[in-house]
Amino acid sequence: MTQYSQPQAIMFADVSGSSALYKRLGNEQAKAIIDESVQFMTALTIVHEGTLVKTIGDEIMARFDKADQACEAAIAIQLRAIKEPHLKDLGIRIGIAFGEVLITADDAFGDNVNDAACVAQIARANQIVITQSTVDALDQQLRRDCQMFDRINIKGDQEETIIYRLQWEHTGNNSRTTIVIPIEDITSFAEKFQLSLQVNGARVFLLPEQTPFAIGRDTQKAQLHIESEFASREHCHIEFRRGKYVLVDHSTNGTYVYQEEQAPIYLRREELPLQGRGFIGLGQTLRGDNPWAIHFAL
């Protein structure tokens, strides 16, 4: 049997919740939906210059010469899936790993195949989860769309590794984008990118993957609850973009940002990168000793 080794991006994609689909719709109708899903996943793999290795029930395994090709195919699959009414309550979950793979005429083997299968199992419906080696092999544009997702022991590995979520949902909707620069070491990353928020005796430490972080009066939607009468129910939020924490106001009364040795900056339906140290006033000017002054530090 002819076999050879070369770098490949391995992708596993499967229909999430297919077992429940069979119980709900019955064998014939559910199988027809699964078969159609496998067909369009296969077609989009080929369109993006991938090779279908095999299908396993409701799942496909594919390989690509480049990590970019695999990720573009995965994004195309997710965009197609959300348009399928039968998949509305199910979704597709995808895992991708890149590295040396042993290839045969009808299969592929190796650690990176196992890694791709592992992160595919971690992914939830409508998610694309990829390994650090995949992120490292991406071009700059796709790399900016990778958000740190978790730190895990991939099967067989003694050391933890970072895995990422490839964000595809912002296509045509930039407001949903949260971008993280890929990293090699989570400890140094935390030291460099941790944001501290302190208000009324409570302190919160944020990392990029914990954004967007909502602030306001609504106890159901705000992750940082501010009881001030000047605060809107959903006053503002903080997100992480291109290496910076950005405060985004969407309130009625606006937001005042006091940064080190600067006059306060007033935002109303605007945004501002946070730098250094300072404090934030929701809907009013205030002093730093006000109990509803939100002190921040980077």
Q: What is the DSSP string of 158-183?
A: SS-EEEEEE--TTTT-GGG-------
Nearest alpha-carbon partner for 58 in 31, 86, 23: 31
Q: Which two tokens stand for residue 270?
A: 């605007």
Q: Which two tokens stand for residue 200?
A: 């009324």
> pLDDT, tens digit, for every residue of 234-264?
999 998 775 678 999 999 999 999 998 788 9
Task: Provide the total of helices (H) and of strands (E) in the chain, helices listed first.
Answer: 7, 19
Write down the pTM of the prediction: 0.58
Q: What is the DSSP string of 56-91?
A: ETTEEEEEESSHHHHHHHHHHHHHHHTT-GGGTTT-
Q: What is the spatial distance between Cα 294 and Cα 277, in angstroms, rounded to a whole number?
A: 11
Q: Which two tokens stand for residue 47?
A: 């369109």
pLDDT average, residue stretch 180-203: 62
Longest Cα pair distance anywhere in the chain, in angstroms? 76
Q: What is the spatial distance between Cα 52 and Cα 119, in angstroms, rounded to a whole number?
A: 19
Domains along the chain? 3-186 (3.30.70.1230), 194-297 (2.60.200.20)
> pLDDT, tens digit, for every residue of 74-126?
999 998 888 877 776 678 999 999 999 999 878 999 999 999 999 999 999 89
Judged by DSSP in three states, 41 sits in helix
Q: What is the DSSP string of 224-236?
A: EE---TTS-TT-E
Amino acid type, 239: E
Alpha-carbon distances of 37 from 10, 17, 86, 87, 170, rounded to whole Å:
19, 13, 10, 9, 23
> pLDDT, tens digit, for every residue of 128-186?
999 999 999 999 989 989 988 887 877 666 677 889 999 997 644 433 333 333 334 44
Instruction: Supply the pLDDT for residue 242.
Output: 59
